[in-house]
Every structure is written in structure tokens, then in C-alpha cells.
Structure 1
Amino acid sequence: MKVILSACSLTLAALGLFWVFGLRINATASMPRGVYLLAPGAPERGDLVSVCLEDGAFATLALKRNYLRPGSCPNGLEPLLKRAAGMPGDHIEADQDGIAINGRLWPQSRALSRDSLGRPMPEAENFGSRTIPEGLALVLSDRHPGGFDSRYFGLVPMASLRKVEPVFLIVPKGE
């Protein structure tokens, strides 16, 4: 029992140090799995970003369905890693094909009705056709059609975005 408690304590301490030094771990399929480092500067369109979910209902769903694990965000979850797909002033249009940003369809951005385990997904954010207002951003996965991102929980505050850069990526065979 002491060995298990010691191992758990060491693991938690290591994760705490990772966080303090700006390292983020991504174990989900929505972005390349691996270790990322917080980078200086304000995020720009196309940058990889770390973002904490603020909405209680979506945070609860993400934890309940294991889309996110407990972590260091103010709501107690780990941060999401996504692409800053749309920034203030960008025009977005959503339809059955996905989300177009400034006239270009974002890859694999069609909202799905069910997740990979067949559970119903929350109704997709109805962006319609509009301009992203100041202070908000659209974050999307660009490599996984089932990414839990802005197509479900909507626009996120720019202030919550932190730019990240990959440090070590785990590349599956065949990629």
C-alpha cells in the first residue's frame, strides 16, 4: 500500500512540475499525442492553443464522458489542445458540411450526432453566418472528426487561449 501511495504521490508531483514549467500533455486523438510547451506571444489564427473550458455544462459532460481528465484548469479539468481556427473579425458559416472560416471549409468540422461510443453529442453550436466578435475565438481540431471543440461548446474567450508548441510527439506507425 505504501508503494502505491508513493507512486501516486510522485506522479502527482511530476504532473504539478510539468504544469508549473508550462508543459502540457495531450493524450487525446483530436491533436497529435505528446508533450507541448506554452509559448510566448498572443495566439494568432492557425496556432496550436491550450484552452480551459469555462461553461459548467460542457465541462461536466467532458469529465463524465472522459473527453477530459481532472487537471489544472479553474474548473478542475485538464486544458484542451486545439487550433485557433477563427479569430475576432473572421466570418464563420456553419452548415451540414461543417464550418467555413472566411469562405474556406475547415477540415473535418462537420458536427457529429454521436460520439465514438454511440452516445448523443450535444447539439452543435448554431453559428449560422456571422462575424466572430472581439474577445472571442473559434477553436477546432484539424485532425480528428470527433474532436470535442467549438462546434459543440461555442466560441471561447481570447483571454483563455495560451499558445503552445510541440516538444515531443508520439507518431503512430504509418503516419
Structure 2
Amino acid sequence: MNKSKKIGILSLSLAVVIGAGIPLAHSFGVRVNQTESAPTGIYIVKDLAPKKGEMIEICPPNVEVIQLMNQRGYMQSGMWGNCEDLGVSPLLKPISALDGDVVEITPGQPVKVNGIVLPNTQAMSAIPGYPPGKYIVGQNQFWAFSTYNAGSIDSRYFGPLSIRNIKGNAKPILIKGDISKVSMGVVSND
């Protein structure tokens, strides 16, 4: 067998292994975050009882602002999972507010939870934010705000979510960045 044929067979074999490995890894909860909303890298998603301040994997709601963000190319889709009704990849976000917490949204200001400012949570002017007001988080609901990056797509745009939107807890395995900066200002109820 000549050298170019060996290289071709090796390349094809490698492509098959990688192609089969990605769905297999995904089925075991392995996720790759490529966005700037949280430290980039590899996370493992498991079905655990989520707590305030912890990272979770969620499907955003099928609302107009998410559809707009998807049309503008802000949402990811493809090989890293899917939120079936939207055709977008799930998001990795921290839980910032749970049942009984008070979320305050003021135009041009960062979000407050129970009176505490969450840095980097002001909605961008080019995208309609969630309506201003004070909201008491209902039973079986939560709000998710990432303080890691001011451009994060989270509850500042789509508001509260049902606990059913949670796909699992996301634990960092191999990341680039400081995971503690994702939920700055979030105070646990424990």
C-alpha cells in the first residue's frame, strides 16, 4: 500500500472515530461551551437538584426575543445538543433567583436580586430586555443571569423559566476562565 493511500485510510478512520465519539460523549453528559457567557471548555451535565449559584444547562423559552437572537446569529445550534422547539443548543447559566426571591429589572441598570446588584447584567441596548419591574419568583420557577460577560443571553432578556427547562447541573471539567465570576453577587439560600 502506498503512503498516500495509508494517509487516506488513517484520515477516514480518524473522522469516523471523532464522528462517533461526539454523540457518545454527549450521551454521557459531556458538553463543550464555546461561548463567552461562561468559561469556555468542557463541562459534565448530570441530573442533580440544582441550587442557587450553581451552573445548569437550560433550554431558553421559545419567545420572540430568543427567536430574534437566533436570527441574528447570537444562538448556537448544531452538534452540541438541541432544544427541540427552537433548534438551538442549550445554554450554560447559573441559577440566580429561586422561589420567593425578588428580581428587579431597571432599564440601563444591572439586575438586582433581593436588593443585591449582579454585575454585568444590564441588557444590551440593541436587544429588547425583559420588561422593567420587581418580580417575585414563583414556585417551580427560577431566573438565570450570568455575571461572567455583559453580553450573556439570559433572563435579562427572557425572564423567569420553569424548572422543567433545566436539563441538568453543569460541572466544569476542563475550562479556561474563572468559574466563580459566573455568579458574582448571588447569595445562596442555604
TM-score normalized with structure 1 length: 0.82
Say which of 16, 27, 33 aligns to 2:34.
27
2:89 is equivalent to residue 89 of structure 1: no
RMSD: 2.4
Residues 43 and 171 in structure 2, CA contact (< 8 A), matched pair in contact too:
yes
- Number of aligned residue pairs: give it: 164
Q: For residues 61 and 12 of structure 2, what CA distance do their matches in structure 1 show?
A: 32
Name structure 1 gaps, 5 residues minimum.
114-119
- In the alignment, what sits opposite 2:138? 133
Q: For residues 5 and 151 of structure 1, what CA distance do their matches in structure 2 show?
A: 45
Question: Alpha carbons of 1:13 and 1:134: their partners in 2 closer, same or farther (altered >3 Å)?
Answer: same
2:68 is equivalent to residue 61 of structure 1: yes
Say which of 111, 123, 129 aligns to 1:124.
129
Question: Alpha carbons of 1:125 and 1:72: their partners in 2 closer, same or farther (altered >3 Å)?
Answer: same
Deviation at 1:171, TM superposition (A): 4.1
Matches within 5 A, 1:23-172: 23-64=30-71, 65-70=73-78, 71-75=81-85, 76-95=87-106, 96-113=108-125, 120-121=126-127, 123-161=128-166, 162-171=168-177
TM-score normalized with structure 2 length: 0.76
Deviation at 1:58, TM superposition (A): 4.2
Question: Alpha carbons of 1:22 and 1:125: their partners in 2 closer, same or farther (altered >3 Å)?
Answer: same
Larger of the two Rg values belongs to structure: 2
Name structure 2 gaps, 5 residues minimum.
1-7, 179-190
Residues 75 and 89 in structure 2, CA contact (< 8 A), matched pair in contact too:
no
Residues 92 and 127 in structure 1, CA contact (< 8 A), matched pair in contact too:
no
